[in-house]
Structures are given as C-alpha cells and as structure tokens.
Structure 1
Amino acid sequence: MTDVTAAPVTAPGSSATTARLLAEAAGRIDAPDVVLAISRGGVRTVHTGGSAEPGPVAREHLHYELGSASKPFAGLLLARLVAQGRLRYEDRAADLLAPGLPVHPSVRRITLRHLLTHTSGLPGLPADFYPQAVPRWSTDPYGNYPADRVVRAFLRARPRHRPGTRWHYSNFAVSVLGHTLAAATGTPWEVLLHQQVLAPLGLEATLLRPGPDSTDATGHRRDGTPLPALDTGGFTAAGAVRSTPLDLLTFLEAHVGGGAGPREAALGAALTEVTRPVLRRGLHHTHTHTLTWFQHPTPYGPALFHAGATLGQQAFLGFRPETGLVVAATATRRVHRGDTFVATAYGLLTETP
C-alpha cells in the first residue's frame, strides 16, 4: 500500500514508539483512507494514511460509517434507560411496541435483554428482507425496508429458538430494540440517542445520517469504485452511527474512565453495566459477551471490542478496562476475503503492552 499522508497526530507526551507501531500497522491495510488511533490514560496517538490523496478535511475529522460497531451505542442507551428506572432489561418488547396485539408466544417472551444480547431466537434479518434487497445488494439493500416494516416483521415472527436459549447474531433483533426504546419513551431514536448518550459524552461529531458536505468518508468497493452513503432504512439501531475517529476515542475512553470524569459521571452506572459479562457460548463456553461487547482474554486483562462494516467501509472499537488502553480504527474499503483490517486492529488491542 502507498501511504500518502503517513502522518501521526500525537498528543503531548504520547509515545514515539506507539506512533511507529500505528504506522507499521497501517501499512498492512489496503484502503484509500485508514485511521488507527490509540489512547492510553487519555493520551492519544492517531495515525492517518491510505492509498488515496488526502482530501480537504483531515481523515481523523471525517465521519465514517460504523455498521455493526453502532451496536455498543444502542447497548449503552438501553443501560442508561434502565439505570434511570425508565425500563427493565426483562421488559417484553412486544408489550411495549404493540400492547394487546396477538403475537406468537415465543415473540411475547422476547425481552429487551434478549434483543440486545442476540439471544431472542430471531434470524439475522427478516425473511421478507431478501427479495427486495438482493437486486440492490451492492448499492442499497436496506433503504427500501423502513421502520414500520421492521416492526411488523417482528410482530409476525416465528423465532427459530426459544428466547434465551441460543446465541445468534441478529441485526433484526437490535433494530427491533431501537424501535422498542423509541416507542417506550415516546422519543424518536435519533433524539433519544443524542439526549442520553451522545450529548452527555460530548460526541458532537457523531451522527445517525450523512453530515455536511465534504465531511463524510467515502466508502469503496474492492476494485476502488466509490460508493454512496449507506441508507440503513429501518435498521438504524443496528448500524446507522457515523463518527470521527476522535469522537470514537472519546466514546471508548468513557468506558475505561471509571465514571470519574464529568462526562463519564452522567453515565457511570450504565458504563459499568455494559462491561459486565452476562453470557458465555461456544465450545467450553470460551466466548464471553457483555450486554453489547465481545470479550476476549489477553495477557493484559480482558479486551472488549466490536467490529462493523458497511458496503464500503469498516470500523473497529475496543478497550482494555484494566489497563485503560483504547483502540479505534476506520478504513474506507471492505474486502471480503484476505482482509487484514480487523486482524490488524484486533492485534493492536490485544498485543500492545
């Protein structure tokens, strides 16, 4: 890869060793725009690079599509509403979305916790999603599937498994969670997330729709063809967040701040709750999950993380609570085979002393 900018943006006191580490890691990622960022105890090191000429807005200030890395925002929102006493994890989604409406018994048993932890029994996407999405799979698969259709699909669903018995990753479920929280609070999802999470944490550059002209990163296909901004349709809670790498560092730093700072204090109980392991799965129960993060062991303590991808962009968010290390990474190309982005970002999180 040709790294055009190759310029680490470092905070006072940040380590030159860390800057070199990020530069070497960026060299393993083939994308027009790459941003790798690390924070240790609030001291940040940000490396920007990529195969494309830099644009008028610095790469660390562009809004990147997070895809499924949006889900930790949804999880933190639910945790805060529960901490405020406005909802309970065991509240049933169907009762909040459509009280009194007849639904399948398994749907009636699905709770907010089930939706967030991928244990609802729902499929990854609604069954009727695919016929309308396949003709536009590489350009706009979600845009013609609005919020009311997601809700209707949930209320007529027949879960594959009894809720709470199996883990199956589901964009459908987390999207239903978003619509349920909006219905339960009488507040649109975008407003609710801003009021409860984005504003308290000072995430002014984090959005749920494209930003002003020239402020959004442009995704690319493997062959380098640029792609339009993603329309998530009714799947907003599962994948609509757009953010800058600097805002992502702020979001992650809140999770390792112990609730001591002014921004973290407002969400202290929720930040603690989303880092607590709640389930294990897989052979010998080796896979650990919190409400919203994957958790793996490292020589430096547990690492919590979530990756995401859209049609032409990728993001990785992670942190180590015991050491205060956080990692945020973005790239503007998605490669389905032989991709090095996630492995590189994961290595920074799990192997950096």
Structure 2
Amino acid sequence: MRTHGSEGALRDRLTREVADLDAPDVVLAVTRGGRRTVVTGGRAHESETPREALRYELGSLSKTFAVLLLTTLATEGLLTQDDRLAAHLPPTLRLPHSASRSITLRHLATHTSGLPRIPYDLIPGALLHPHVSGYARYDTGRLLHTFAATRPRHPAGSRWIYSNFGAALLGPALAGAAGAAYPALLGTRVLRPLGLTSTTLAPGPAGADAVGFRTDGRTPVPSTDMGAFCAAGAVRAAPHDMLSYLEAHLHPAGTPLSGPLKEVQVPQLHRGGRRGETHTLTWFQHPAPGGPMLFHAGATFGQQAFLGYHPASGTGLAAAATRSSRRIRRSRGCRLVLAAYELLYGLAEQSAG
C-alpha cells in the first residue's frame, strides 16, 4: 500500500473543498494514521467559539449511536437484537396489528420494520408548516399510541424502508430493557466509555452550539428539539468528538466497546441488485478501493453532517455545516454530503494506489 500524501497536501485539499462549499459554517475533519487534520470556513463571521469547537446537530447520524447502544446492551445480556419490540414496551400497550407484534429490535435498526418514514399524524403539520419541527411536541406517550394504531406497510423483515418512526422506537425500547431513560443510557454506556465529552442530546449554553439561519441569512434557526424521536435524531457533537467516534469504529480493539463496535459493522442486507448497496446494522456500506467504506449522513432544519470511514486504510472523515433554511428541500443531495463522500472515496483510492 502506498503511503498517504503529506499533511500539508491534505490540508490544502480540505481547504479547497471548504472554500467550494456555500454555507455559513463548514468543518471538514480527517483522521488517518493516528493524525487529525481539521479545516474550517464559511461565509458567516466566526463566533467567539471557534468553528471546530462548536457542537453540530447530527440529525439522522444519531441512529448510529442508538444502534451502538443496542449492541452494547445486548453484550451486557439485557436484551438481544432479535427480541420483539413489544417485549420492551409497557405491558399495558395493546398492539392490535399482528405485523406490529412481529417487529424486532433488529428490524428497527435495519429499517426493515415495515413502518413508514414518519408517523402519519406528523404529515399534516409538515405540509402546513414545512419549516417547523413537529417532533418537539411529540412525547413518548404519543409515539407509543401512534405505533399501536399504525398498521405496518409490509411484514417485518420483508422490505427496506428508511424510517425515523422505527428508529425512534428504539428509545423507549432500550429504556424499557435497561430500566433507565434513553439519554442517561446513551451517556453511561456509549458516550462516556468512548470519551465523547463534547457530545450530547440537548442544547448547550449560549455559544456552545452551531446555529443555522432562515432564508434571510440572518435570523437563526432554533435548536432542533426531537422530542420522543431522540434516538432518531437528537445527537449533537463537536468535530473532535466526531473524529473520536470514527476512530473507535476504525480501531474497536482499543476501546471499552470492542464487541459492539465490531457488531455494528457486520453486513445485514443488500438491496438494489448488483448496483445496489449493502447495509450493516446501522451504516451504509459501499465498495471502495482496498475494501468497503461505511458512512451515514444527517440533517436538521439548520444543519447537516456526514461521518464515514474506510477501515482498510484507517481513514475517517467528519463533515458538518450550518445552512440557510432555503436549502432544506435539497438536503438529500446537499453539496456537503456529496463532497464529503467523494473526498473519503478519494482518500481510500489514494491509499490503495
């Protein structure tokens, strides 16, 4: 394997990428060979807190933390991945649909539960108020009630449907299995063991968190409150914690969560035929030079993020940015995610050349 280019060449490349991204705040951070390179920029004036010290909302990347917690609790013997979801929900919750009673925790983790992307009762509010998060007013009681009333679209395990609804249910299920609130569980079982001291599920004090903006580019977007969808999208982290998280996945043996970190990287399913993609328990997996790369992206109303890693070369890449709300509708194809993906692939290609 050819050695990586110099630290200066990598920094120059990241600097060019940051300059090409149209966002108020941008961070690109790479870890490889035990060395970290972090470059920041953006068209907004930098606040008193440097961009690389701010905490960014990770959106759907939070699901990777929830599934890592799932595998950790399984290692402790508190549950198994193939437990029925209903076994860890309140016994008073009645599930009239037999398909709902067949859903397992693994189905929730791999988006094969058959549940829709979001609960049906969130759709009217999203259509009427597209720039307002409906999750904030959605508590656990409502989440469980809606789950009980929802007939899955397909039998569990038969189809892949990306589902915030399903991932959210991991929160109360893991809490029920371990007898503690989800935020506390994530903190004690995942964040603390991995040394992620700048990662949290709640907003921090003034100046600690990155802030997105409304269409005018001046009015800040309120911090995203995920309500009962905590497991699906509430994590926020500073760039160096993102790198620590990636390094733990790249080198599981050196962490207290060696088994769970290896478990979440095991492929579970493939969809889309020869040109499709493989899914592990929580990561998307694509072919890359030298071996597969694993990644996930996330977005909230004012921010977006990407985490990816290439085990064969020991390379990890974290990207985060704030954005203006006019770009919300383009979040799936946002330039940050595409640029980060291509950059990680390029670094993998470089290492294998």
| Structure 2 length-normalised TM | 0.92
Q: Does 1:38 align with 2:33?
A: no
Post-superposition CA distance 1:172-216 (Å, at most 9, x none): 000001111011111101000001100000001001010111111
Distance 1:197 1:98 in 2: 24
Q: Which one of the candidate residues 290, 293, 311 is aligned to 1:300? A: 290
Residues 1-353 of structure 1 mapped to structure 2, 5 A cutoff = 15-99=7-91, 101-103=93-95, 104-224=97-217, 225-259=219-253, 261=254, 264=255, 266-284=256-274, 286-333=276-323, 335=327, 336-337=329-330, 339-352=334-347, 353=350
Q: Which has the higher helix share?
A: 2
The aligned counterpart of 1:6 is: none
Q: What amino acid is aligned across from residue 245 of structure 2 in structure 1? A: F
How far off is 1:223 after superposition?
Answer: 4.4
Mapped partners of 1:102, 1:217: distance in 2: 41
Q: CA deviation at 1:14?
A: 6.7
Residue type at the aligned position of 1:239: G
**Separation in 2 of the partners of 1:194 and 1:62?**
19
Code of the residue aligned with 1:144 in structure 2: it is R
Secondary structure, counterpart of 2:199 in structure 1: coil
Distance 1:280 1:19 in 2: 35
Query: How far does residue 226 in structure 1 lie from its aligned partner after superposition?
Result: 2.2
Report if the CA contact (8 A) 1:28-1:340 is conserved.
Answer: no
CA deviations 1:47-71 (Å, max 9, x no partner) are 0100011110010110111100111
Q: Give the superposition deviation at 1:291.
A: 0.4
CA contact (8 A) 1:76 1:197 kept: yes
- Cα offset for 1:133? 4.1
| Deviation per residue, 1:219-255 (Å, 9 max, x gap) | 1245424211111111100000010011000001000
Structure 1: gaps of 5 or more residues: 1-12
Percent of aligned pairs sharing the same letter: 51
Partners of 1:107 and 1:14 lie apart in 2 by 53
Report if aligned partners of 1:221, 1:311 keep a CA contact under 8 Å in 2: no
Offset of residue 97 of structure 1: 0.3
Alignment check: 8 A CA contact 2:252 2:259 kept? no
Q: Return the alpha-carbon distance in structure 2 between the equivalents of residues 14 and 241 of structure 1.
A: 33
- Structure 1 residue 100: deviation in Å? 6.4
Matched pairs, number? 337
The structure 1 segments of at least 4 consecutive aligned residues displaced by more than 4 Å after TM superposition are none
Q: 1:54 to 1:14 in 2, by over 3 A?
A: farther
Q: Aligned-pair distance for 1:146?
A: 1.4
Q: What code does the residue aligned with 1:271 have?
A: L
Q: Secondary structure at the match of 1:184?
A: helix
Moved more, 118-127 or 153-162: 153-162
How far the C-alpha of 1:73 sits from its partner, in A, is 0.5
Contact 2:126–2:132 (CA<8 Å) still a contact in 1?
Answer: no
How far is the alpha carbon of 1:37 from its aligned partner? 0.2
CA contact (8 A) 2:57 2:234 kept: yes
SS in 2 for 1:128: helix
Q: Distance between the aligned counterparts of 1:92 and 1:300, measured in 2?
A: 38
Q: What are structure 2's unaligned runs of at least 5 residues?
A: none
1:128-170 CA distances to partner (integer Å, 9 max, x unpaired)?
Answer: 1223444433033221111211111112220000000000000
Q: Give the secondary structure class of the aligned counterpart of 2:137.
A: coil
